[in-house]
Structure 1
Amino acid sequence: MQKLTALFFTTWLLLLASCSAPDVSHYKGTQPEFDFKQFFSGKLKAYGVVQDYKGELTRSLVVEMDARWDGNQGVIEEDFVYDDGETQKRIWRITLNDDNTLTGTADDVIGIAQGASEGSVFHWTYSLELPYDGTTIEVNFDDWMYLVTQSRLINRTAIDKFGIEVGEVTLVIEKVE
């Protein structure tokens, strides 16, 4: 009976936590106004850390980005370099919609990333094949970007598996040009 009670309580807490996440519309009117296409144009550089589910630092990284647009179709090339020497490349293909929503794909993204911006905030979610222990695992990314100035933003990404947060990535992204 104690195990059943503990399972019920844990499930209830997880449901409560999932309902308490803010919606991007909460940030309507905040400044500076986040324009995805304007920010992600040209060369950018990101500095970040990866933390595990306990909040312990597991890696640090630097990302060089190059973003270009043809109308509302964009390409963002990301070159990752981790502190242990591992490198990784991701090429995003982005579509901006008239209603401030965005879709994106990349080779390691499962399906289509969906996002929206409001005020100074951009939020998107996607599933990713993440290299792990000689293979890959599917994880979900809940990505929040907060524009601080027109040339700098803070990006916080929660990584979850089966609805349980297993890690977090925090980046500071700056325009180089």
Structure 2
Amino acid sequence: MNNTIRGLILFMLVFLTSCAAPDVDYYSQSQPEFNFKTFFNGKLKAYGVVQDYKGELTRKLVVDMDASWDGNKGVIEEDFVYDDGETQRRVWYITLNDDNTLTGTASDVIGIAQGASNGSVFHWTYSLELSVDGSSYEVNFDDWMYLVTDSRLINRTAIDKFGIEVGEVTLVIEKIEQ
């Protein structure tokens, strides 16, 4: 193998590893401690923006949430209102596991969402059937939630298709009823 090919392989390996996101365990010492069941319980409200792949604002949204639990099984009802008047509803069915992992399903989620928390951070990934201008697309969501206070978190979601980021959603979620 010549030096050019070796250099190209080395560059690609460095590039690929530099693009990797931190594991949720990286945040094990961060505070306050994020407890999914405690935070997502009762009424919550989210305010957010959607940006396209260039970072340009495409939409604003408000989400009313109502979450309830029966043991380790939870239901989170989300009612979205976008600035263009569109409304959307998603109902999550959540299962919490003893090891701080979580699984979830919803009618527009393809397969099962997988997540874990550590320290003040929760991370989960899932595929979603997304409707845009009358067409439907399967996209991947990579959600990172950062608990800022016991009653407020910031959620950053990267949306990708075929491994290429096509959009981003940023939300501030607040507990309005403890």
TM-score for the superposition, normalised by structure 2: 0.91
Matched, 1:169 2:169: yes
| Residue in structure 2 matched with residue 126 of structure 1 by the alignment | 126
Distance 1:151 1:89 in 2: 23
1:18-167 equivalences in 2 (<5 Å)? 18=19, 20-167=20-167
Q: How far, CA to CA, are the matches of 1:88 and 1:22 in structure 2?
A: 31
Q: For residues 60 and 15 of structure 2, what CA distance do their matches in structure 1 show? A: 29
The one-letter code of the counterpart of 1:62 is V
Count of paired positions:
169
Give unmatched runs, 5+ long, in structure 2.
none
Q: Distance in 2 between matches of 1:125 and 1:14?
A: 22
What code does the residue aligned with 2:43 have? K
Task: Give 1:15 deviation, angstroms.
Answer: 2.7
Whole-Å Cα distance in 1 between the matches of residues 151 and 21 of structure 2?
Answer: 27
Identity of aligned residues (%): 79
Q: Deviations over 1:36-82 (max 9, x none)?
A: 00000000000000000000000000000000000000000000000
Deviating 4+ runs (over 6 angstroms): none
SS of aligned partner of 1:54 = coil
TM-score by length of structure 1 reads 0.91
What is the CA-CA distance between 1:133 and the residue it aligns to?
2.2
Q: CA deviation at 1:169?
A: 0.1
Structure 1 residues 98 and 164, CA gap change in structure 2 (3 angstroms): same
Amino acid at match of 1:50: V
Q: Please provide the CA RMSD for this pair.
A: 1.7
Following TM superposition, by how much is the alpha carbon of 1:16 offset from its aligned partner in structure 2, in angstroms?
A: 3.8
